[in-house]
Structure 1
């Protein structure tokens, strides 16, 4: 419901990034998440058919050696983790 409002008809983005956070994968069953993402992709495609759709997955799950990528809750990215994610998305967008 929010996608058409975000992707206004008078704008033509070259790319749209859809990101699944770690909380999306832990709170939902895999099949539900896949169904929701399919629906989201279809909505974006119908709203902006010329845009490249990039699906971004969550950071690696919290485990020893990746502490610096996460806040103390072990779920949300730290500043370093958010910068890494942002850099990866930016690099992908520049490669289009």
Structure 2
């Protein structure tokens, strides 16, 4: 999950290193606590990717999305970012997840914020750990999410 994302009229909650089940539980609690919120943006950068169990990850993600849709809130998925220091295998797996999520969201008519290409081979957008966006990267991600929120608002 990501910190330091600022979206007009929204609040950001972060659970670093969270796995899908933890994200789902937290998101359901937030929906209950903030019942007036109309939209939920879920960040797809989750700790499960390091387990290298793609089919389990997909199944858990589908289950989480189904539960989030049951809340009646509009759902937007923000896709993964390509880390700069974790090698080709991790980047390839994240790219495959990004492509799968994009297709999954399209099939479910869920708006998808695709920032993968915008961050690819741009280490200056990441902190020194190569994983988390720095201030400039957080600003870019915030703009991408805000644009998606605004486009969903105008088309709804």
TM-score, length-scaled by structure 2: 0.51
Shift of 1:10: 6.9
Q: Does 1:76 align with 2:139?
A: no
Total equivalences in the alignment? 94
- Which residue does 2:28 correspond to in 1? 4
> Residues of 2 paired with 1:22 and 1:9: CA distance?
22
Which contiguous aligned blocks of 4+ residues in structure 1 show a shift greater than 6 angstroms?
none
Cα distance per residue 1:3-37 (max 9 Å; x no partner): 33210177143221111127543444322221221
Specify every segment of 5 or more residues in structure 1 that has no aligned partner in the other structure, as ranges: none
Does the 8 Å CA contact 1:22/1:59 hold for their aligned counterparts? no
Q: Does 1:43 align with 2:67?
A: yes
Higher relative contact order (CA closer than 8 Å, sequence separation 6+): 1
TM-score, length-scaled by structure 1: 0.77
Higher helix content, 1 or 2? 2
